[in-house]
Structure 1
Amino acid sequence: MKNLLGKINTKLDSQGGFLKAVSVLVGGTAFAQLIGFLCLPILTRLYTPEDYSILGVYVAIVSILAVISCLRFDIAIPIPENEGDGKALLLLSLLSNTIFSIFLYLVLFISYPYIQQYKIIHQLSHWIWLVPLGVFVSGFYSALQYWATRHKRFKDIAKTRMTQAIAGNTASMAGGMLSVGFGGLILGQFLNFSGGLIKLATSAKKDLKRIQGSPLKTTFTKFSNFPKYSTFEALANVSAIQLPLILLASYLIGPTVGYLMLAMKVLGVPMGLIGSAFSQVYLAHANKYLESGQLYSYTKKIILKIFKITVIPFLLLALISPYVFVYIFGENWSNVGFYIVAMLPWYFMQILSSPVSMSLHIIGEQKKALVIQLIGFIIRVVGLFLVANFFVDKMIVYYFISAFSFYTFYLIIILYRLYLSEKNEF
């Protein structure tokens, strides 16, 4: 038995500890996803598709704003070899996030009398005031998570995901049982954004005491491409994902966005389980392969591993979705299975490309990453807006096709640029 455990541990420690890191993150994420999935049949009987539609709008607004709240200094934290630069990037991230969140509250306070009659704002009601706070805790968590990634504390990250799942789902179920309406879902999502902050903050505080940081102004200048290019790239990327939900909620009456939200939660299980885990570990190890001139080869291996892990589960999901989810979620959600089948090609390409998307930043191609995301924004948001105004009944079909097309294009470009980088031709 000891020999067997020894062999397993040796295997997990191979490839620079990559497999062990992935297994830790997958384990924690799997627990979180399992909790979320087990709670869904209860939540879908406590809340209506219309409630999930409003949740979709809240998540979309917070996600769009949160991704730029740290000016993208957060994603740069694991990259520099110098610990002083890493510390300075963490402090810049937290400072930017705090200032941005305060600014959002000021803007909301001034503009609320003028925007409260808009359909989406009216739907959110007083819960709109939870948006800037949601942005703050989400940005705070992102910065601390990347600091933990820098120090390869994958166990800590895994534990925070468990905390998020338990706190978020418990709050949502409690809200549903107390009949507080969609506010229970929003409160649960807020806790999902903020869960695990204390644990990550405690570890980071201990680190910061013993590390001599670089001057913030010097570090800001050194990594200025991140706020200059990556901020707009991330904004275009997340807007391309989230703005369509707001557009759909604005143009389509009924539970459509609610169906989409639930389908995304189901497909988010493999995305969160595999994509997120591989993304964190890929980022933690990519710099080493860049220095050895093997980042292209390493990236191809990661994509192939993800393909092998996901292809069979996705095929099985395509076969069973139209038949099983009506029993799992209840009669009100009978169409969800068909939405899941239609979204599978899109999510399959996303799960292949997203974990390695940071590679363009690692090789210093923030400008090209920005251009790609702007193209994605035009295809997915501007295109959907045009379809909404001329062929409103085709919005959902266009939404699915445009997402699949973009992620396919994105993956091809990533591999092509890495190939040129490895050949020193770019």
Structure 2
Amino acid sequence: MVVRSPLELRERKGTMKGLPSTVLRDVIQLLSGTAIGRLILLAAMPLVTRLYSPKDFELLAVYAALVGTVAVVACLRFEIAIPLAENDDDAIHLLALSLMSVAGVVALIFLLTLTLPQQIAELVGSPGTGAYMWLIALGVAMTASYSALQFWAARNRRFGAIARTRVGQATTGAVTMLGFGWLGLAPMGLLLGNMFSLGGGGLSLAAQVMRWDRAALRVLTRRGLAATLGKYRRYPIFSTPEALANVAGIQVPILMIAAMAEAEAGQLFLAMQIMAAPMTLLGASVGQVYASRAQEELRNGTLYRFTLSMMRRLFLICLVPMAAAALLAPQFFPVVFGAEWARAGVIVTWIAPWMLLQLTVSPVSMGLHVTGNQRIAMSLHVFGLALRVGSVGAAALIPGIGAVEGYATSGALFYGLCAIIVLGAIRKT
């Protein structure tokens, strides 16, 4: 049993009616905090790009790729089952399993990066990151723990709490990057700022669990953990490889590009950070609301209609801004971020179609898990990994084809395919 505040109880009562207005309210509540957070980071970037060089951003790209790849599977994907669990007892045991998994993964990563820092750096093609390998374990711990705790908060409709943490993340991240940059402590400021902007806020959400969910915590038992592990075993078995393939499809090509052309990796990272603002702002917020309501829509037989409606709205909302970004970025980037970042503006034009399709389908991709299609999800993302890595590899071998351009094109193709498969699988359910 989960204890909720009176406000949360009133919100819960309204959402159970399945009214579209409640979906809109939840999205707006998350969007408000996320929007403020993204605006803070975006406002800081013109200063950040003048305090740090493209070489510093190349190191950040490698660090972020490593942390992102490990963090997304550190919970063994138990965290995504939290909002989908049949009851609160299962959900709290899933939260415990998630955090226990994070502890184990972080311990292993810490041991490896402590004993073999330079070897790992050379393995990923970026020897300069060897001195900062010890930060990876901390980054994974903060990012993965926050992910699990925010899924628990989303299950309990604590979207206001999530929104507040996102403002705090952005503020802390921006202040860290600017402060360290002003002191000349590069690239450490970029790495720490990235860590705080992704994983900060975990302690705040944990405090809410201790305050409101004491009754739920009291039901935690070893037997319950074992039973929940067995009941939700499909998530670590199928969703972990799927998630690893998905994030590797994004991050491994960045590592390849960094190894082939260091300057390109820094330019690509800045372009993706700017274009990821809508994904973080709208996509993540809609995705959490979708996950919190998907089981109810499935029971009512309306999941396909609900999913299709969200995808249509997301596409229409994002079409004009993405088209404008593609057209204007090459002119605006050198002015806003400095002349040495002109290439990043050109890259934005290439990745805009990919980002538009990703914004359309990623928030509703949880539908594959809701309908029990984890195998389809895993196969889809393994294919995506092969497509993207193959595209970057081909660009390195074939003269006249840029690695970044190949990466961007493969991203658009992959998410177009995702849209077709996700809708098809949900419709058959």
Flag whether TM exceeds 0.5 (same fold).
yes
1:300-353, Cα deviation, whole Å (9 max, x unpaired): 000111122111212222232221221111111122221111110010000001
- The yes-or-no answer on 1:28 pairing with 2:33 is yes
CA distance in 1, matches of 2:232, 2:154: 18
Residues 311/210 of structure 1: CA separation in 2 closer, same or farther (3 Å cut) = same
Work out which of the residue numbers 237, 248, 253 in structure 2 matches 1:239. 248
Q: CA deviation at 1:391?
A: 4.4
The corresponding residue for 1:5 is none
CA distance in 1, matches of 2:108, 2:339: 43
Q: CA deviation at 1:45?
A: 0.7
- The yes-or-no answer on 1:172 pairing with 2:181 is no
CA distance in 1, matches of 2:376, 2:124: 36
CA distance in 2, matches of 1:96, 1:410: 29
The corresponding residue for 2:422 is 414
Q: CA deviation at 1:116?
A: 5.5
Work out which of the residue numbers 109, 131, 134 in structure 1 matches 2:139. 134
Residues 244/220 of structure 1: CA separation in 2 closer, same or farther (3 Å cut) = same
Asked if structure 2 preserves the Cα contact closer than 8 Å seen for 1:248 and 1:257, the reply is yes
CA distance in 2, matches of 1:199, 1:146: 14
Three-state SS of the structure 1 residue aligned to 2:45 is helix
Q: Percent of aligned pairs with the same residue? A: 35
- The yes-or-no answer on 1:67 pairing with 2:72 is yes
Map 1:174-189 → 2, pairs under 5 A: 174-189=179-194
The corresponding residue for 2:109 is 104
- The yes-or-no answer on 1:251 pairing with 2:260 is yes
Three-state SS of the structure 2 residue aligned to 1:60 is helix
Name structure 1 gaps, 5 residues minimum: 1-9, 422-426
CA distance in 1, matches of 2:424, 2:287: 19
TM-score, with structure 1 as normaliser: 0.92
- The yes-or-no answer on 1:227 pairing with 2:232 is no
CA distance in 2, matches of 1:296, 1:187: 41
Work out which of the residue numbers 312, 326, 334 in structure 2 matches 1:326. 334
- Comparing 140-149 and 332-341, the one that deviates more: 332-341
1:341-389, Cα deviation, whole Å (9 max, x unpaired): 1110010000001000111000011111100001001101144234424
Residues 347/206 of structure 1: CA separation in 2 closer, same or farther (3 Å cut) = same
- The yes-or-no answer on 1:301 pairing with 2:309 is yes
Work out which of the residue numbers 128, 145, 154 in structure 2 matches 1:123. 128
CA distance in 2, matches of 1:68, 1:119: 19
The corresponding residue for 1:424 is none
Asked if structure 2 preserves the Cα contact closer than 8 Å seen for 1:52 and 1:261, the reply is yes
Number of residue pairs the alignment of both structures matches: 410
CA distance in 2, matches of 1:195, 1:88: 23
The corresponding residue for 2:276 is 268
Asked if structure 2 preserves the Cα contact closer than 8 Å seen for 1:77 and 1:150, the reply is yes
Work out which of the residue numbers 349, 359, 362 in structure 2 matches 1:354. 362
1:153-186, Cα deviation, whole Å (9 max, x unpaired): 1101111110110000100001110111111100
Residues 174/210 of structure 1: CA separation in 2 closer, same or farther (3 Å cut) = same
Map 1:37-56 → 2, pairs under 5 A: 37-56=42-61
Asked if structure 1 preserves the Cα contact closer than 8 Å seen for 2:117 and 2:131, the reply is no
Q: CA deviation at 1:108?
A: 2.5
Asked if structure 2 preserves the Cα contact closer than 8 Å seen for 1:251 and 1:392, the reply is no
RMSD: 1.8
The corresponding residue for 2:202 is 197
Map 1:55-94 → 2, pairs under 5 A: 55-94=60-99
CA distance in 1, matches of 2:40, 2:122: 37
Asked if structure 2 preserves the Cα contact closer than 8 Å seen for 1:121 and 1:128, the reply is no
Asked if structure 1 preserves the Cα contact closer than 8 Å seen for 2:121 and 2:128, the reply is no
Three-state SS of the structure 2 residue aligned to 1:334 is helix
Residues 116/35 of structure 1: CA separation in 2 closer, same or farther (3 Å cut) = closer
Work out which of the residue numbers 385, 389, 409 in structure 2 matches 1:377. 385
CA distance in 1, matches of 2:70, 2:171: 25
Residues 192/392 of structure 1: CA separation in 2 closer, same or farther (3 Å cut) = farther
Q: CA deviation at 1:16?
A: 5.8
User: Which amino acid in 1 is paired with 2:196?
Assistant: L
Asked if structure 1 preserves the Cα contact closer than 8 Å seen for 2:350 and 2:409, the reply is no
The corresponding residue for 2:8 is none
Asked if structure 2 preserves the Cα contact closer than 8 Å seen for 1:73 and 1:227, the reply is yes
Map 1:397-412 → 2, pairs under 5 A: 397-412=405-420
User: Which amino acid in 1 is paired with 2:333?
Assistant: F
CA distance in 2, matches of 1:98, 1:260: 32
TM-score, with structure 2 as normaliser: 0.92
Work out which of the residue numbers 132, 135, 157 in structure 1 matches 2:162. 157
The corresponding residue for 1:367 is 375
The corresponding residue for 1:285 is 293
Asked if structure 2 preserves the Cα contact closer than 8 Å seen for 1:87 and 1:208, the reply is no
CA distance in 2, matches of 1:22, 1:113: 44
